[in-house]
Amino acid sequence: MTISNASPVTLSTLSAALHNRELSSVELTTDYLNRIERHSDLNAFITVDPDSALKQAEEADRSIATGNPGPMTGIPIAHKDIFCTQGMATTCGSKMLEKYISPYDATVVERLKQAGAVTLGKTNMDEFAMGSSNENSFFGAVSNPWDKNRVPGGSSGGSAAAVAAGISPAATGTDTGGSIRQPASFCGLTGLKPTYGRVSRWGMIAFASSLDQAGPITRTAEDAAIMLGIMAGFDQRDSTSVERAVPDYRATLDDSLDGLTIGLPREYFDQGLDSEVGDAVERALHQLQSQGVRTVEIELPNSMLGIPCYYVIAPAEASSNLARFDGVRYGYRADNYQDLNELYCRSRTEGFGPEVRRRIMIGTYALSAGYYDAYYLKAQKLRRLIANDFEQAFAHCDLIVGPTAPTTAFRIGAKTHDPVSMYLNDIYTNAANLAGLPALSIPCGLDSQNLPIGLQLVGNYFDESRLLNVAHRFQIESDHHLQQPTKV
Amino acid sequence: MMTSPSWRNHLVQLPDSNSGQCSIQPEDRLWYRSLLFILSLSLCMSLTPEDILKIAHLARLEVPEEESSDYARELSAILDFVEQMNEADTRDILPLSHPQDATLRMREDKINESDQREYYQSLAPETEGGHYLVPKVIE
Amino acid sequence: MSDWETVIGLEVHVQLKTASKIFSGAATDYGSEPNTQACAVDIALPGVLPVMNQEAARMAVVFGLAIGAKINQRSIFARKNYFYPDLPKGYQISQYELPIVAQGQLEINVDGQLRSIGITRAHLEEDAGKSVHEGFQGATGIDLNRAGTPLLEIVSEPDLRTSAEAVAYLKKLHSLVRYLGICDGNMQEGSFRCDANISVKPRSSSTLGTRAEIKNINSFRFVERAITFEIERQIDLLEEGGSVIQETRLYDADRDETRSMRGKEEAHDYRYFPDPDLPPLLLSDQFLDQVAASLPELPEARSARFVSEYKLDPGEATKLVDDRAVADFFEATVKDSPKEAKRVANWINGEIAARLNRQNLTISDSPVTPDLLSKLIQRIADGTLSGNTAKEVFSALWEGERDVDQVIDDKGLKQITDSGTIESIVDEVLNGFVDQVEQYKGGNTKVFGFLVGQVMKRSQGKANPKQVNELLRNKLG
């Protein structure tokens, strides 16, 4: 079997090829390392470690030869540079951690390693996961393989660009306000944010602790099911990790969609929605209806207030989470300082980029004396209203569908002048983070400029199986997920 | 099939690379709008350069004085934006800090960590005699 | 001075003696090489997360129940945000709006006066590391071994009025936490740290004065000195027309004065918010019942029982229950001979306590075990030993002898109770000290004691004192 760009490869096809000895993991890994090299202009990777990757591939080949290989054995993947990896730099897209090498692996990394996956390298991202375009990285912007003048989305832009360009079969990402789903939408991929607590946050550098979740970015729903099955599960090192059995996500992928009800929030489909995005979503809904699904209109009256709510809670938590970066025990330390205060201020000001500093300031303000009630507390109350909206909606439907992002990929530099305009990218995605619900984005078409459009499915708590099932059935009857950027 | 919900104006504008911008109408609840108007007066939305310097100090960030006005403007814009939250009536609503209202799991009181000083301190910018070094602190 | 009233509130940080830290599995031992007990969580590496130690919660509940407090079955951990090198995360995990222990009280006794002092709350939090200022050229060294050790912060109501009350409260609290086994109480090692909030006001006024906080006083004596100094300082200031600034001060033991802390005067905005990494702590009824059932008999109740059951004086009883192991020792000794309880108490509070103190030992190190002590006392009770000879036997036991009767035999210490023998010794003395006899008959009653002493001397202390007394009196008339 040859790996070509003509037909996108999936984890399941690669796995079959490896198990059937059609090719070895070393060959596969070498191939991907070469591709990464050829497409370095995308700037999707921050660190690539060929020696380590090939060693892992060799070991994987040994397991394949001798024992019981699993679905990820020997498969090369990329990790968003927010996951701690022992022995390989973890920069979080920041100068602050430019040279940081974690002494331990994140749980997500551990589990994929144990499953035999081969780590190609660490992908580029918006600094400390703060951004929706991957333009906020110390290591430079990432290009969207569909149009190199456009952004891949963020903050998991590097992971999305890598998978879309075919230089990594799959990648991990994190999602705090839409950072897996929106890049997946912009890059024509499947991206899943699991239920809060489904995947361990141990070793995942914290941005907004009550919102962050790790998830897979893949070409297909089946691949996402494979990866989620390995990433998910209780971890005692994370107090927010939920003790709940992980179902076999692949087992239910082919279940019939007959009788399922999809809720359509009226707030998502107003006249402000880009017509091409709206049309693609409508067509997708028609397709699902033809597959046995019925739709009902629902209301999520407070969901659109998710953005201001999110932009208080996330920066507030981040301002606290990032206080540990002070130049004392690890990370960037300023060269010139006279006293402790200057050490702190200079290290942090020089080490953090402008968006990070902006959010730390907002977050600090939102928590400060006299403002806590008006901002942080208010946002947490609004958050409960948002969660309640979903709860009520799920009494009438099995999952909720709408667009993932209000637009397709915008030009690099188009929104960097105005933080607020950038924040509005999250309009459909961050409510799921606020409520802690699982949500998935799958491609549902291309616009007139050949840019991918994403369809978002939001499920009830721990209902990832259903989301993956609907996505998979949709993908069986359509080919949007098979589209690839032509120029790559 | 899909109707447009009402929106408070001057707030959400959905930018779009292809079609024109679109602004949205305010919700028509007169009594509530009056309440919100009063509320918004009581909240100081505009940050001054002095506020910026204070916040920066709390966060141990440097904002050169000549930049503090710009910063103030920028952050004020963001804060104005988040004022939208006041549209929602949250009286009698409990805050949600943890999705699914989770509760704390505890572990047994056991030592399960060993001395890894050398390893950890290999990450540190400055150490001496096993201590992390910072400029002298006067107490 | 009496125009002024003092208001004192105390905050005590009690280090809970768990094996591992409150949010990580690193050890909590004192005195280890720097940073050898600081794991990834303690040094706040990127990506680490806290996991709660159940023993810390249990100990907090034990304390709460012991002071009759309401336990908040739902309590919340909050982040207290500030920058300091010994605070690796840039925030301390503490409890703010909903602490684990709510209102309780502690009864204190000052010169016989009983007062109930309110305890506003007690909450769990993590300790910070240590800053070492000496030994590093122009720098400060940070040791994070202590970072993450569990603390219980106990806050009193501003009910205390004098430095004596403050000391009594602290001593009682200190004794209680050791008794409950939740803290080793070692003030030199920082296991029990006290901050005092002090203000004064004119007696006639009902508004509280501005208070100053004196931080980190680590001995009872210093507490007394610091409070006394501070009260005087504030009164002097006010009487001169000045005003007290709300500030943090340190007690300088060398100069015996309190001093304003340099450079710490910026108002702290801690920006407390519930820690998103730690969901609310929920304690079930079952858990509370279990802890309540596991509580030892509390010092007050035990002391009262010693008084009623064993007929001890309140003073003797209080002294015994100051240390739970000592109280246990007492009861173990007394179980076979409850009638001798008072005698046992005397030996423990007296001879044993003195020796333990001198040799810097605890009761568990006592070579004289409850069994041995019990035996010894039986021999006093049955007349075999007198007060003096018992002391000799005790010494032998302390040095390692294991058999009371053997020692008595070996040393020939059996008390002389045979009246004939005693009588002959008495006769000897009366014949040998004729002058003293004359003096006695002349009205000098004091010389009686001398004569008794002489009889005891001649009998190597073995004569039964009561019989000696009787016989002498009879013979002298």
Query: Do B136 and C25 count as a contact with CB atoms less than 8 A apart?
Result: no
Query: Which residue of chain B has the CA closest to C40?
Result: B120
- Rounded CA-CA distance C196/C226 in Å is 9
| Residue type present at position C157 | E
What confidence score (pLDDT) does residue C388 get? 79
Best CA proximity match to C123, nearest among C141, C102, C145, C137: C102
pLDDT the model gives residue B1: 31
pLDDT at residue A488 is higher than 70: no
pLDDT attached to residue C262: 56
Question: Would the pLDDT of A285 be above 90?
Answer: yes
**Residue B134 pLDDT more than 50?**
yes
Catalytic residue among A25, A179, A441, A478: A179
Confidence of residue C261 (pLDDT cuts 50, 70, 90): confident
Which of A11-20, B39-48, C335-344 is most confident?
Answer: A11-20
User: Which chain C residues have a beta carbon less than 8 Å from that of A329?
Assistant: 43-45, 88
pLDDT at B45: 59
**How distant, in Å, are the alpha carbons of A240, C161, C430 from that of A195?**
11, 55, 101
Structure tokens that stand for C110 in this block: 């000052």
* B120 to chain A: closest CA residue: A103
Which residues from C are below 8 Å from B104, CB to CB? 52, 77, 278-282
Q: Give CA–CA dist A196/A461, Å, rounded.
A: 8
Q: How many angstroms from the chain centroid is the CA of residue C452? A: 42
Tell me the nearest-neighbour CA distance from A152 into chain C, angstroms: 25
Look at residue A319 in the predicted model and tell me its pLDDT.
98
Least confident interval from A142-151, A245-254, A256-265, C196-205: C196-205
pLDDT of residue C140: 96
**Which of C43, C49, C278 lies at the smallest CB-CB distance from A201?**
C49
C263, closest residue in chain A (CA to CA): A341
Q: Which residues contact A373 (CB under 8 A, 6 or more apart)?
A: none
| CB-closest option in C90, C272, C278 to A326 | C90
Interface test with B, best of A304, A348, A429 (most B CBs within 10 A): A304
| For chain C, percent of residues with pLDDT exceeding 90 | 67
Query: What is the arithmetic mean of pLDDT over A323-336?
Result: 97
Q: What's the pLDDT at C253? A: 85
pLDDT at A68: 84
Asked if A236 reaches chain C (Cβ–Cβ under 8 Å), the answer is yes
Task: Let me know: does C25 contact C14? Beta carbons within 8 Å.
Answer: no
pLDDT band for position A7 (cuts 50, 70, 90): low
**Residue B139 to residue C261, Cβ atoms within 8 A:** yes
Q: Is 90 exceeded by the pLDDT of residue C85?
A: yes
Q: Over chain A, what is the mean pLDDT?
A: 95
Which ipTM value was assigned to this complex? 0.96
β-pairing verdict for A118-123 and A45-48: antiparallel
- Mean pLDDT, rounded, for A229-247: 97
pLDDT band at A139 (very low <50, low <70, confident <90, very high): very high
The chains in contact with chain C, meaning 3 or more Cβ pairs closer than 8 Å, are: A, B
A9-21 pLDDT, tens per residue? Answer: 899 999 999 999 9
Task: Kindly list the residues from chain A whose CB atom is less than 8 angstroms away from the CB atom of residue B87.
Answer: 305
3-state secondary structure of C249: strand
Residue A235, φ and ψ in degrees, nearest 5? -135, 120
Active site residue A80: yes
Give contacts of C91 with chain B, Cβ < 8 Å.
none
A161-214 residue pLDDT tens: 999 999 999 999 999 999 999 999 999 999 999 999 999 999 999 999 999 999
Start-end of H helices in C54-162? 54-66
Q: Which two tokens stand for residue C347?
A: 């030996």
Bridge-partner residues for A445, per DSSP? Answer: A453
Is residue A179 annotated as part of the catalytic site, yes or no? Answer: yes
**What's the average model confidence in pLDDT over C323-345?**
92
A80, A113, A122, A193: the catalytic one is A80
Q: Edge-to-edge strands of the sheet including A118-123?
A: A45-48, A118-123, A76-80, A171-175, A213-218, A190-193, A439-446, A452-459, A399-403, A261-265, A294-298
Contact A326 C43 (CB under 8 A): no
Decide if C122 contacts C155 (C-beta within 8 A): yes
Residues of B in contact with C49 (CB under 8 A): none
Residue C220, pLDDT > 90, answer yes
The pLDDT assigned to A376 comes to 94
* Nearest chain C residue to B137, by CA: C140
Name the least confident of A130-134, B75-79, C265-269: C265-269
Identify all chain B residues contacting C279, using CB atoms and an 8 Å cutoff: 97-98, 101-104
**Which of the four pLDDT bands, split at 50, 70 and 90, describes residue A279?**
very high
CA-based nearest residue to A123, from A183, A190, A171, A193:
A171
Q: Which of C41, C48, C97, C268 to mutate to test the interface with A (most CBs of A within 10 A)?
A: C48
Cα separation, C43 vs C35, in Å, equals: 9
Query: Please, what is the average pLDDT of chain C?
Result: 92
Name every chain C residue with its beta carbon within 8 A of the beta carbon of A322. 90
Q: Which of B60, B121, B131 sits opposite C132 (nearest CB)?
A: B131
Of A202, A236, A368, the CB nearest to C47: A202
pLDDT tens string C378-390 = 998 888 888 878 8
- Residue recorded with tokens 């609290």: C173
Chain segment C387-410, per-residue pLDDT in tens: 878 898 999 999 998 998 888 888
> pTM for the whole thing?
0.89
For the ranges A147-156, C168-177, C245-254, the lowest mean pLDDT is seen at C245-254
CB contact under 8 A, B100 and A197: yes
| DSSP at A376 | I
User: Could you give the CA distance from residue A402 to residue A281 in angstroms, rounded to a whole number?
Assistant: 7
Mean pLDDT value of segment C152-163: 96
B31 pLDDT band (50/70/90 cuts)?
very low
Nearest to B85 by CA among B125, B135, B136, B45: B45
Lowest mean pLDDT segment, chosen from A75-89, A286-300, C463-477: C463-477
Report helix angle C387-398 to C370-381, nearest 10.
160
B31 vs B4, residue with greater confidence: B31
Q: Which residue has the tokens 């970015």?
A: A217
Q: What is the pLDDT of residue C158?
A: 95
Least Cα distance to C189 among C155, C144, C146, C156 occurs for: C146
Q: CA-nearest residue of chain C to A197?
A: C277
How far apart (Å, rounded) are the C-alpha atoms in residues A130 and A438? 20
In this predicted structure, which of A322-326, B5-9, C96-100 has the lowest mean pLDDT?
Answer: B5-9
Half-sphere exposure (Cβ direction) of A486: Cα atoms closer than 13 Å: 4
Nearest-Cα distance to chain C for A384, in Å, is: 15
Query: Cα separations (Å) of A333 from A327, A336, A483, C383?
Result: 4, 9, 45, 80
Three-class secondary structure of residue C90 per DSSP: coil
Q: Which of A412-421, B40-49, C280-289 has the highest mean pLDDT?
A: C280-289
Subunits close to B (at least 3 CB pairs below 8 A): A, C
pLDDT in tens, A339-390: 999 999 999 999 999 999 999 999 999 999 889 999 999 999 999 999 999 9
Helix axes A11-19, A221-231, angle to 10 degrees: 70
Instruction: Tell me the three-class secondary structure of B85-114, residue by residue.
Output: HHHCCCCCCCCCCCHHHCCCCEECCCCCCC
| Nearest CB to B129; choose among C38, C57, C141 | C141
Residue of chain B minimizing CA distance to C138: B136
Q: What contacts C91, CB < 8 A, 6 or more positions away?
A: A320, A323, C79, C80, C81, C82
**CB atoms near residue A88 (< 10 Å):** 20
Which pLDDT value is given to residue C336?
81
Mean pLDDT of C83-91: 97
Top residue of C83, C97, C140 to mutate, by most chain B CBs within 10 Å, is C140
Read off the pLDDT band of A271 (50, 70, 90).
low
Residue C351 has a CB neighbour count (10 Å cut-off) of 17
The tokens for C451 are 């004569």
| Residue B30 pLDDT greater than 60, yes or no | no
Q: What is the pLDDT of residue C476?
A: 82
Residues 6+ apart with CB under 8 A from A428: A178, A268, A402, A403, A404, A405, A406, A456
pLDDT confidence of residue C464: 82
Catalytic residue among A15, A133, A137, A155: A155
Chain A residues in contact with B132 by the CB 8 A cut-off are 328-329
Chain A residue at shortest CA distance from B52:
A361
Q: Which ranges constitute the DSSP H helices of A324-444?
A: 340-351, 354-367, 378-393, 419-423, 430-435
Per-residue pLDDT reduced to its tens digit, A206-234: 999 999 999 999 999 999 999 999 999 99
